[in-house]
Every structure is written in C-alpha cells, then in structure tokens.
C-alpha cells in the first residue's frame, strides 16, 4: 500500500533527507532512469574536496560555514581582503546602533540577497568600485549596493533596512537598474526576481507574528530582521537557545506565499520546491514492471532557497544575535548546480546518452539543458542531497575526527570548503569559456 504524505511533512527538513534517501536506495539497485551511478568514485571526490580545504584553509575546522556572508568577504582588484559586513557593523556600532539592530539589518540584507540568488547566467556581470563580479558574488554585491542606497527601505532616516512597504512598491526597473541589466548585460529571469521581492513584501506585511517585532502594528513596517525578536520568544533559557526547527518554522511558514503558486500543490496548498520523482513509483524490489500509480509517495522536497536562507541567517543569529541554535544537523546540503555539477564532472553521476541528446537543444549546444521540473533534474538534485552527506562522512573519517553523529556545522564547512568551491573550479577547468555546470537548468529565477 503506497504511503501518503501530508503538507506538514513535505515542508519539513526531515522530509528533504528522507525522501532523497529513497531515491538513493533505488540508485544503489541500478534503478535511476537518467543517470549511471558509480558510487566507488565518491572517495575520489572526497579526496579532491579535502585537497581544496587544505589548500585554502589548512584544516576543515578553519573553514567558515557556508552562507551568504561569504559573498561579502571579497578580494579587491588591488588584492585587499575585505569583510563588507563586518565593516558595516563596525560603522553602525560607532554610530550607537545596538547589537540587535545590527543583527536585524544584516538579516534584512541577507533575506533579499538570498531570494535573488538564483543562477545569473554566464553573460551577466556587475561592475563595482571593488572590481567586476559575476554569478552569486555579483548578485550579492548588487543587492548590498541597493541596500546601502535605501532601495529596500521606506524610512527617510534609515536606508539600512528592508521592509514590507518598500518591497511592495519595488518595480522591475528598480531591479534592472540595481543589477546593471542591459541588452548587453542580461540577467536571467530579472522580472521574476523583482516579483519574488514584491511577494516577500506581501509575506512580511501579512506575517506580524514573525516579522512585526515587538510592535505588531502599522507604526513600524514589517522587516525580515524582526524574526530575531520572534526567536527570542522561542528561547528556552539564558543564554538564548533555540532549535533549528524554530528558525525553519519562520522560513517555511512565514515565507510560504513568497513562492510561485504554480508549483506542486497538495490539498490546495502550494508546496514550494517539491517535485514528483518518477522512480519512486517503483517499489525497491521491482524489476520495473510493477510501477505504482504515482501519488504523494513520489514527491521529493528540496526547499533549496529556503535552506540556503536558513544556512545564511543561522550565522547572523549566532554571531551577531548571540543565540545558540541546536539540532543544525537537520539541515541538508544544497541541491544546486555547483554541488551537483561536481558529482557529474567527476563521474559519480553520468547522464545517460538518450537524455544528453534530448538536452542538447541545437547544433551549437555543448551542455545539455533541462527545465527545472524535468525528471533528469529531480533525480540529479535528490542524489546530490544524499551524496553530499556521504562526502561529509568520508571527509570526517579521513580527518580522523571522533566517530559520532556529524554536527550540522561540519556539513556547512564541507559545503564551503568544499563541494561548492570544487564544483565551481572543475567547471571552470572543463568549460573555461562559460564556466557553466555540466548540466544546465532553465531556471525561473526562484530555484537555483
């Protein structure tokens, strides 16, 4: 009898790992539809990741956690290393801004910065006084400059905030201007990013429980950073301890209506980044002939942007908000094109010929491309979630660390040190003209 899953479960962190594990178990039996799985190559991937960790940080314990903050630790064209967030916090404090307001401001910035952090495409660049940036770093710096200029703030006194009133009035042109978009400098899904931020404004406005601060009224417009005040009410003791589930509730519940409603729905509820995976209609002992009628047992949640946001805000909550966050091991690795691309480029996952040919849309294509809803992408992302865990376990073992449950922040260091960086470097080496991943996704600007 097929298992039926409900909305609450499919929106949980638990479901991301568990449902992807179901795909992995079928992969081990050779049941993947679109990839050839070579698990024996995972050890080579772990060695490669560890080599970059040693090259750049010396030791895995020196690696900072994966999060949006890293996009603001930049090396300028003159070779100077700068942490733009620390610089802002220092200036704010010098002007008598309190610790929590500093944390709120950074959380404000990170939320808009993460939500517009889908793939920019290989042609887009952002030219700044610090240098020229592309892809995720370029998107981050562009968002920072808009934040500094008060584009996201309705306050005449404080440009350094993001609030519902300003976001609701944000135009497509605001985004095009802020991100230097022109015909010669195209940004993928630019209008969708603007709509996503307007939807964020609406979600903030309608979520005073999480984003209204201590004054859930119209005197002060709702801000992402006010979730810090909500979390203080969830804290169990002093110093303030909250569970990752408390943080996740804000993200997955408070921002539920940010995502396009056209995605997978259950009982009339939009599930967000949740997709049907065809091979889950096959029982584990099936030879392929006893396929079940697909239902909720075939759905796989990823919640990639929500998790990317959670990873990013987590650092601010702990570092600037002085909270202790427990059970961070529930977070998973991010199923995006750098982490997933590493697995393909190193031969752990090999796209089958029929799918490769299908994805090469014209005679000039060198990298196959698929819609985000394509079953190729769903399989790829599910396998990425699980295999990032396996890589982290291998690195944990190779480093001779205690044989215990891997803490969540260890995975964050593996991602940063790390699988994401390895995916980028190997892509640049193998496809230096574009630096594209080995498989491209036709993105709507809200997934990758």
- For 104-145, the pLDDT digits (tens) are 999 999 999 999 887 777 789 999 998 899 888 999 999 999
Mean pLDDT of 196-224: 83
Share of residues in the chain with pLDDT > 90 (%): 71
Asked if residue 448 has pLDDT above 70, the reply is no
pLDDT, residue 398, reads 93
2, part of any domain: no
98, part of any domain: yes
Asked if residue 1 has pLDDT above 50, the reply is no
Q: Which domain holds residue 279?
A: 7-442
Please give the backbone phi and psi of residue 19, each rounded to the nearest 5 degrees, phi first: -70, -35
Mean pLDDT of 7-11: 94
pLDDT, residue 390, reads 97
354, part of any domain: yes
Pairing of strands 440-442, 369-371: parallel
pLDDT, residue 387, reads 98
Pairing of strands 81-83, 73-75: antiparallel
447, part of any domain: no
The pTM score is: 0.91
pLDDT, residue 444, reads 65
What total of structural domains would you count in the chain?
1
269, part of any domain: yes
Model confidence band, residue 216 (pLDDT cutoffs 50, 70, 90): very low
Do you know the residue count of the chain?
Answer: 448
- CA-to-CA dists, residue 16 to 33, 48, 259, angstroms: 20, 26, 18
In our burial notation (b when 16+ CB lie closer than 10 A, e otherwise), range 241-265 reads ebbbbbbbbbbbebbbebbeeebbe
pLDDT, residue 189, reads 81
DSSP, collapsed to helix, strand or coil, labels residue 274 as strand
pLDDT, residue 63, reads 94
Beta-strand ranges (E) seen in 108-215 are 125-128, 131-134
Helices 13-28, 375-398: crossing angle, 10 deg rounding = 90
448, part of any domain: no
For 242, how many CA atoms within 13 A lie in the half-sphere containing its CB? 23
Q: Which residue has the higher pLDDT, 406 or 285?
A: 285
163, part of any domain: yes
């Amino acid at each position: 009898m097929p298992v039926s899953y409900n909305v609450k479960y499919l929106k949980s962190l638990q479901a991301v790992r568990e449902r992807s594990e179901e795909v992995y178990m079928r992969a081990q039996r050779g049941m993947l539809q679109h990839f050839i799985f070579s698990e024996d190559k995972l050890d080579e991937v772990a060695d490669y990741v560890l080599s970059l960790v040693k090259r750049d940080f010396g030791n895995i314990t020196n690696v900072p956690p994966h999060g949006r903050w890293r996009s603001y630790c930049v090396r300028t064209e003159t070779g100077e290393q700068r942490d733009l967030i620390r610089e802002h916090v220092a200036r704010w404090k010098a002007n008598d801004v309190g610790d929590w307001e500093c944390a709120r401001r950074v959380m404000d910035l990170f939320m808009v910065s993460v939500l517009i952090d889908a793939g920019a495409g290989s042609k887009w660049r952002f030219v700044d006084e610090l240098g020229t940036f592309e892809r995720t770093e370029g998107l981050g710096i562009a968002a920072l400059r808009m934040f500094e200029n008060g584009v996201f703030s309705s306050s005449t006194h404080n440009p350094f905030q993001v609030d519902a009133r300003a976001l609701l009035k944000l135009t497509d042109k605001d985004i095009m201007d802020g991100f230097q978009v022109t015909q010669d400098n195209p940004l993928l899904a630019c209008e969708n990013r603007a709509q996503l931020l307007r939807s964020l404004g609406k979600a903030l406005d309608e979520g005073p429980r999480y984003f209204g601060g201590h004054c859930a009224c119209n005197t002060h417009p709702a801000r992402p950073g006010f979730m810090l005040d909500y979390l203080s009410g969830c804290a169990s003791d002093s110093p303030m301890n909250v569970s990752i589930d408390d943080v996740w509730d804000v993200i997955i519940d408070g921002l539920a209506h940010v995502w396009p409603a056209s995605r997978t729905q259950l009982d009339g509820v939009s599930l967000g980044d949740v997709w049907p995976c065809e091979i889950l209609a096959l029982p584990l002992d099936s030879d392929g002939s006893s396929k079940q009628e697909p239902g909720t047992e075939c759905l796989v949640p990823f919640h990639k942007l929500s998790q990317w946001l959670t990873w990013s805000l987590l650092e601010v909550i702990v570092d600037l908000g002085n909270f202790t966050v427990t059970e961070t091991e529930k977070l998973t690795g991010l199923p995006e094109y750098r982490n997933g691309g590493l697995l393909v480029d190193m031969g752990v996952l090999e796209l089958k010929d029929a799918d490769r040919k299908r994805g090469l849309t014209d005679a000039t294509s060198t990298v196959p491309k698929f819609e985000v809803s394509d079953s190729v992408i769903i399989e790829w992302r599910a396998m990425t979630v699980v295999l990032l865990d396996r890589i982290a376990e291998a690195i944990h073992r190779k480093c001779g660390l205690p044989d215990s449950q891997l803490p969540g922040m260890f995975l964050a260091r593996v991602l940063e040190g790390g699988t994401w960086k390895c995916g980028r470097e190997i892509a640049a080496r193998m496809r230096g003209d574009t630096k594209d991943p080995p498989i491209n996704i036709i993105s709507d600007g809200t997934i990758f």
